[in-house]
Amino acid sequence: MKNAVNATSEPLKQYPAGALLRVKDICGDRKHGKPGLLPIVSRTWLKWVEEGRVPKGILLGARTRVWPVEQVLAVRKGLAEGLSN
């Protein structure tokens, strides 16, 4: 699993500071072969949001929620540190 977190470093280059990410940006889009920033499926991310393990994000509309890239990177860093312990 440690390699899975490190293996997602390539997508970081495409997001500028202050970017807002949707779930498919965070978890990837298997249908279109797009890797995500985290090695988890979208249901896991949404469960973590419900449980309060990650920030709730910003609601843009009735069905659109986004997260600042900095928040997602902080979660990613926490996952990597947790795996190395």
- Residue 40 amino acid letter: I
Domain that holds residue 68: 2-84
Q: pLDDT band for position 1 (50/70/90)? A: very low
Number of domains in the chain: 1
Q: Which of 65, 64, 1, 77 is nearest to 37 (CA)?
A: 77
pLDDT tens digit string along 18-75?
A: 999 999 999 999 889 999 999 999 999 999 999 999 999 999 999 999 999 999 999 9
